[in-house]
Chains A and B, each alone.
Chain A
Amino acid sequence: MRAALVAEYRKLVTTRMWWILLLVMGCYLVFIAAIISATFALVPQEDAPLVGEDAARAVYSVVNSVGYVFPLVVGSLAMTTEFRYQTITQSLLVEPDRTTFLLAKLVSVLPVGLLLGVVGVLATVAGGAPLLELEGDGAMLGDADVLSGLLLGVVVVALWAMIGVAFGALVSNQIAAIVIILAFTQFVEPVARLVLSQVDALSAVSAYLPGGAADSLIGATFFGDPASVDLLPRWAAVLVMLAYAAAFAIAGRLTTLRRDIG
């Protein structure tokens, strides 16, 4: 297993895609966090949707609610490039145990996922903190709840990378995997969360969507006032995210990785 982990890690870092996406993610999050912080800081106090610590936490939560597409794509690419370039053949020649192969892939993406998380959180703070500090109620970077949210943001991004690998195992076609991830993260889930939050009977469901669970882990959401939005307890949020990873991974093991390779 150790050798498989090293091999999978090397596969990831010997290609360029991950750091290109890391750069794009950093730049994009600086930009988005700056815009979001402006909507809180540059409006009169009475019109601001959120104020004080809530505003800061909502701004910083975009590392998840906007940034999560990047670790998902990085993770899914780690798996789908094996099929796109047929390197799966050589991978399974050296590691015929396909469960070991999949587990190694899932775990090996975590270091890069954590790095994406650190860069993503720093970028979000870099983009969001100045306006909050200068024009708003403060960047709140000394606040314990804000800091724990930032640290958990790093963990959330790493978990997304893992879910990406698992999803890539289920949808091994690279184009299909990326299209589905983009459609889901940019359209389906945001719309679903908005709609669900408007329906009282269904508002609790929103927190069980992948992005909702991740927001719960961070403890803040961009989808409204934390007091009115149902979020899961953190332990439950971790379990829900891991459950998504496990469900995709098991489904992938029983379909894609059970099939003949060739």
Chain B
Amino acid sequence: MISAPTLVVEGLTKQFGPLRAVDDLSFEVRPGAVTGFLGPNGAGKTTTLRMLLGLTRATAGRALVGDRPYVEHERPARVVGAALEASSFHPGRTGLAHLQVFAPQVGVSKARCAEVLEAVGMGHAAKQRVGKYSMGMRQRLGLATALLTDPPVIVLDEPTNGLDPEGIVWIRGLLRTFAAEGRTVLVSSHLLREVEASVDDVVVIAHGRLRHASPLAGLRAQATPATYVESPRLDAVTALAADRGWTVAPDGAGLLVEGGTAAEIGGGAHAAGIELHQLVSRDADLESIFLELTRTEGGQR
């Protein structure tokens, strides 16, 4: 097992003129797990990552890699391997040359550069200029840059953008392997669906504020319970729902009751002598919970 540091974000704030891009954000990213850093475009994810990596100065608060900020590590790129969305490449340089340029500063050999390129499935394009690369190939080269030093912490900004389905499956496997090896892995995405299969924890932000941070299962618990009901007396069910403060919506041959669990509705119907033909819990779709979390004003402040 690799011993990896925890990432700690404490009261992190970034003001761009009148815009508060990141607002008093606090969360932790633990080793041995993949943490999804989620939020719509413009939520402040990239700004947060850039503050974590010392590229952007925080207006207030701090971000630590282990016990100190990124820039105070002696050779930070040996501790954190990062691939940022906007981090780009000189189109006239070959993929291999791109890695070799940074090799001396991170203390790896030229042979290691070729090896990492091979490992991300880019061995065939090593001598090709980056200007000819597809978006997916650029993502892989970015990943190779991040993995150059075999770092204990891996930070990837929207790593699935531009990848083909095969590439997405591949990167999921890779992330799971990193976590199993004990590394600290932080992956941002604006789509929960893209990372749902590979994350252990989620940190959800919107408008620069924290909306939710928990293990993935905790996100599901955020959902309003919804239950599908069929009954010959739907009017009575509607009356019951109104009485209990649940909302109802017609759904096929029955009703979808939001706010009440199957047990609550079943119990209420039994007490009121309403005959039920179907009573089915609807599992909340994580994506819609995520959308709800990031859309509503207020949220967790």
Contact = CB atoms under 8 A, between A and B. Distances in A.
A49 interface: no
A95 to B, nearest CB: 6
A86 B91 contact: no
Contact of B90 (A81, A92, A93, A262): A81
A229 interface: no
Interface in A74-128: 81, 85-87, 89-97
A15 B92 contact: yes
Interface residues of B, number: 34
**Interface size bucket, A side?**
20 to 34
Interface string A153-168: 0000000000000000
Contacts of A14: 90, 93-94, 97-98, 100-101
Interface stretch (B104-112, B198-206, B219-227, B273-281): B104-112
Contacts, number: 83
Interface string B37-57: 000000000110010011111
A262 B47 CA distance: 8
A49 B53 CA distance: 62
Contacts of B46: 262
A11 B77 CA distance: 18
Given A85-B88, A85-B90, A11 B101 contact: yes
B101 A261 contact: no
Given A3-B105, A4-B105, A261 B55 contact: yes
A94 B57 CA distance: 17
A85 B86 CA distance: 9
B90 A260 contact: no
Nearest to A101: B105
B133 interface: no
B42 to A, nearest CB: 13
B28 to A, nearest CB: 22
Nearest to B72: A96
Contact of A96 (B54, B88, B94): B54
A141 B98 CA distance: 44
Given A15-B93, A94-B77, 5 more contacts: A14-B100, A81-B90, A86-B86, A93-B87, A94-B106
7 pairs of A and B residues whose beta carbons are closest in the complex:
A86-B88, A96-B71, A260-B56, A14-B97, A3-B104, A94-B105, A6-B104
